[in-house]
Structure 1
Amino acid sequence: MTAAVDKTAIRHAATVLLVRAGSDGPQVLMGQRGSRAAFMPDKFVFPGGAVDASDFVVPLARPLDAECAARLSLDPPGPQALAAAAIRELWEETGLMLGVAGAWPSPPADWQRFAEHGLLPDASGLRYIFRAITPPGRPRRFDARFFLADAGHVVGDLDDFSAACEELSHLHWVPFATARKLNLPFITEVVLAEAQARIMGEDMPPSVPFFDNSTGVSRFHRIEL
């Protein structure tokens, strides 16, 4: 008999803010969750999701920036799995691929279609900018790490979402100037502001903000080296 899965247990997750230049300023890729989704129904979010077992063993053609990797090494599951999960979730939910040409020794099932494109995942363009844990009482809980990435690292057409799964609808590039007018979760608004400040070159603390809601008391930290 298979043991029941506790869906309210905190799962490690990775999310990508993919950004490109637009005629009206920087744009970020977002999509809308379904009205029947258990987690954040109808909300506009960034592509992302939980770390899978296969993400721990996926070869990265290029690693994360050393500083980002060092911060992610402070807690499980570590930089390798989180970077791989971010790339996989972006690809699954949007059809866009962060990769470089390379041969796989033996791709896991979750990565088979990615490998068929002749690409290995490339984490060199990801920048770790935020961490947040979902508060208690929600139908799903995640310990999410947010990565900022320049769309210039994507292989292929940035407007072609034909290979995306159906988890997110209304995938489109949203100007930062108007993104906050969408139906957003609170944490998405906060991360948007953080990303915009970094893109605009504001003087940022040498650390990563962390909203820790692992208990009933919300705490704010900064992840330092």
Structure 2
Amino acid sequence: MTDAPTRPRADDNPGGADAGGRRPKRAVRPRDAASLILWRETPKGIEILMGRRHRNLRFMPGVLVFPGGRVDPDDHSASPVADLTEETRRKLEISATPARARALAYCAIRELHEEAGLVLGRMEGEVLRPDFAPLRYLTRAITPTRMPIRFHARFLIAEARHATGEIKGSGELEEIRFFALSELHQQPVANITALILSEFEAWLALKPAAREARPLIRIQGMDSRVTERPA
């Protein structure tokens, strides 16, 4: 995809938190994180749910990001209504234990609910019971070693038809809505987000049967595209 005309700093962190600050003396261990690319096909083309970081933030103001964040301890205790597909589970476990893989899946769904008000699964009172079955694995990215706050983010995909509810922001992000892929080329996005969007477009261009078999990559550091070893 083409570069946006206004581009924020390239040291975006995939988890969605503010990673600004001084360079650490020693490399910081990345925190596990997950983001969800919720997409739909419309008569006008493919659209993706994204939100805009508040314009008064010190780091990356006004930049569009996917719903996502770091894994919380409680993410390990989720009780899903349906489990991960074999392919999605296997790909998550390239870089995570089985328990951590499920926590990452729940993190992505939880962040979708917290940031956008949508539910992938069902609510039982105040408890979110996630539906892991619609999730598909896209890629992962690791923040550069020079950053004071680092993330090891996994990017998952789900079709919007599986989500219920109305979009309503929690205050974490502004202007949460579905953006056309073509529109995103003119929006301010960080380098890592542009790379992830490119990976998604490549995934989308494949026939459904070929998507699961495509070679896996990870984004290491600023923009290194590294081929994964088989699980």
The reply to whether TM is greater than 0.5 is yes
Q: In the alignment, is residue 61 of structure 1 matched against residue 70 of structure 2?
A: no
Q: Structure 1, unaligned stretches of length 5 or more?
A: 1-5, 101-113
Q: TM-score, normalised by structure 1?
A: 0.79
Task: Determine the structure 2 residue equivalent to 1:190.
Answer: 195
Alpha-carbon shift at residue 119 of structure 1 (Å):
5.4
Displacement after TM superposition at 1:70 (Å): 1.0
- Does structure 2 retain, via aligned residues, the 8 Å contact 1:31–1:169? yes
From 107, 112, 117, give the equivalent of 1:90.
112
Q: CA deviation at 1:61?
A: 1.2
Q: Percent identity?
A: 34
Q: CA deviation at 1:74?
A: 2.7
Which structure's relative contact order is higher, taking Cα pairs within 8 Å and 6+ residues apart? Answer: 2
**Residue in 2 that maps onto 1:42:** 62
Greater strand content: 1
- Structure 2: which 5+ runs fail to align? 1-23
The match for 1:99 among 101, 115, 121 is: 121
SS at match of 1:170: strand
Q: Pick from 94, 116, 119: which aligns with 2:125?
A: 116
User: Offset at 1:212?
Assistant: 2.0
Change (3 A) 1:115 1:131: same
How far apart, in 2, do the equivalents of 1:36 and 1:165 lie? 16
The answer on whether the counterparts of 2:215 and 2:227 sit within 8 Å (CA) in structure 1 is no
Distance (whole Å) between structure 2 residues aligned to residue 221 and residue 133 of structure 1: 14
Which whole-Å CA distance do the structure 2 matches of 1:127 and 1:136 have between them?
A: 28
In 2: Cα distance, 1:224 partner to 1:41 partner: 38
* 1:14/1:145 contact within 8 Å kept: yes
Q: Which residue of 2 aligns with 1:18?
A: 38
Change (3 A) 1:96 1:223: farther
Q: CA deviation at 1:201?
A: 2.3
**What is residue 111 of structure 1 aligned with on the other side?**
none
Q: Deviations over 1:122-163 (max 9, x none)?
A: 01111110100111333532100001110011023xxx323x
Q: Assess, with a 3 A threshold, how the Cα gap between structure 1 residues 19 and 169 changes in structure 2: closer, same or farther.
A: same
Is the Cα contact below 8 Å between 1:13 and 1:145 reproduced in 2?
Answer: yes
CA RMSD of superposed structures (Å): 2.4
Contact conserved, 1:212 with 1:221, CA < 8 A, in 2?
A: no
Deviations 1:38-90 (A, max 9, x none): 65332111100000000011111111111110121232353210100010011
Structure 1 range deviating more: 144-153 or 175-184: 175-184
Deviation at 1:22, TM superposition (A): 1.8
The question of whether the paired residues in 1 share the 8 Å contact of 2:41 and 2:47 is answered with yes
Structure 1 moving runs of 4+ over 6 Å: none
**Pair 1:74 & 2:94 matched:** yes
